[in-house]
């Protein structure tokens, strides 16, 4: 389990089992960076309260990445659900009246309070439409209520790719000629949050492919797939120069031409 140092400084974690070795003191560096959403007049009630009405979200919450974190504010106590949904006293008292609670599907701001860098990534020129229009939400790719917050997690790549192919059916295959890069996941080539490059690619030129395919470079030769590509690489990118236009897999050509 990786834990970046910024979190060590600003958060304490509730669960000792998984995070035991990482438990750190309650050092509040930046309050604003981790304040839960505000709801006028409301106070925190704790996650237990939610169970009576929202079993679907509470029943597996103990397994969720986010159930293990608590705000570095002793007085707030168990704010598991409310860290994202805001203080719920009015919501609970009113039996769930409209407009009494924050829903991150409609408002990703609640995630940015802790993941501030994601606002920047999602503002890059090529992004998923999370901020503008809200056609895609953090929750389409992340499960806040159970298991690994990254759907499919690090270990289950098939599920991770399915997260993407539920919407992007064309890239799902099956293809007669597979591209084994897909076994490394869509994120081998795309940054799902955003990129300065077209199609959210992690690199804008041949380096996207050469990271995995470069065999020999030097003496004027660039050997890729057993053949010298030095002159070919001048014609455009590997996928736009009329050579490998099917980077996800092909039904026509083993060299992923179309």
Subset of 162-201 contacting ligand HEC (CB under 6 A): 163-168, 171, 179-182, 184, 186-190, 192-193, 199-201
| CB contact set of 175 (below 8 Å; sequence gap of 6+) | 246, 248, 249, 250, 251
Residue 146: count of CB within 10 angstroms of its CB: 18
Nearer CB in complex with ligand HEC: 57/63? 57
User: Could you give the 3-state DSSP secondary structure of residue 83?
Assistant: helix
Least distance (Å) between residue 248 CB and ligand HEC: 5
Report angle CA 108, 119, 128 to the nearest 5 degrees. 75
Residue 140 CB coordination number (10 Å): 16
Site size toward ligand HEC, by CB under 6 A: 95
CA distance 175 to 192: 23
First to last CA, the chain: 40
Is residue 5 involved in binding ligand HEC (CB under 6 A)? no
Q: Print the binding letters for residues 80-99 with ligand HEC: x by CB under 6 A, - otherwise.
A: xxxxxx--x--xx--xx---
Q: How far is the CB of 204 from ligand HEC (least distance, A)?
A: 10
Binding to ligand HEC by residue 72, rule CB under 6 A? no
Asked if 101 interacts with ligand HEC (CB under 6 A), we say yes
Tell me how far apart the alpha carbons of residues 186 and 199 are, in angstroms, rounded to a whole number: 12
**Closest approach of ligand HEC to the CB of residue 164, in Å:** 3
Residues from 196 through 225 that contact ligand HEC (CB under 6 A): 199-201, 208-209, 211-213, 225
Q: How many whole angstroms separate alpha carbon 131 and alpha carbon 197?
A: 18
Considering only 5, 32, 52, 234, the residue that binds ligand HEC (CB under 6 A) is: 52
| Contact window for ligand HEC (CB under 6 A) among 19-27, 159-167, 214-222, 228-236 | 159-167
User: Which of 103, 207, 221, 251 lies at the binding interface for ligand HEC (CB under 6 A)?
Assistant: 103
Peptide bond into 247 cis (omega under 30): no
């Amino acid at each position: 389990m990786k834990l970046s140092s910024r979190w060590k400084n600003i958060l304490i974690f509730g669960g000792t089992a998984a995070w035991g070795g990482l438990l750190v003191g309650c050092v509040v560096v930046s309050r604003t960076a981790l304040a839960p959403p505000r709801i006028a007049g409301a106070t925190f009630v704790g996650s237990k309260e939610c169970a009576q009405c929202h079993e679907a979200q509470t029943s597996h919450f103990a397994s969720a990445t986010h159930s293990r974190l608590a705000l570095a504010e002793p007085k707030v106590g168990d704010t598991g659900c409310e860290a994202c949904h805001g203080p719920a006293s009015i919501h609970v008292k009113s039996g769930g009246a409209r407009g009494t609670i924050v829903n991150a599907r409609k408002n990703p701001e609640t995630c940015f309070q802790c993941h501030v860098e994601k606002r920047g990534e999602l503002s890059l020129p090529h992004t998923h439409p999370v901020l503008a229009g809200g056609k895609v939400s953090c929750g389409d790719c992340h499960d806040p209520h159970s298991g690994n917050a990254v759907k499919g997690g690090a270990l289950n790549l098939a599920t991770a790719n399915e997260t993407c192919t539920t919407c992007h059916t064309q890239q799902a295959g099956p293809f007669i000629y597979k591209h084994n890069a897909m076994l490394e996941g869509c994120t081998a080539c795309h940054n799902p949050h955003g990129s300065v490059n077209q199609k959210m690619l992690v690199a804008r030129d041949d380096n996207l492919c050469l990271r995995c395919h470069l065999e020999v470079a030097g003496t004027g030769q660039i050997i890729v797939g057993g053949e010298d590509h030095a002159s070919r690489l001048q014609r455009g990118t590997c996928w736009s120069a009329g050579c490998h236009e099917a980077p996800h897999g092909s039904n026509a050509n083993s060299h992923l031409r179309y």
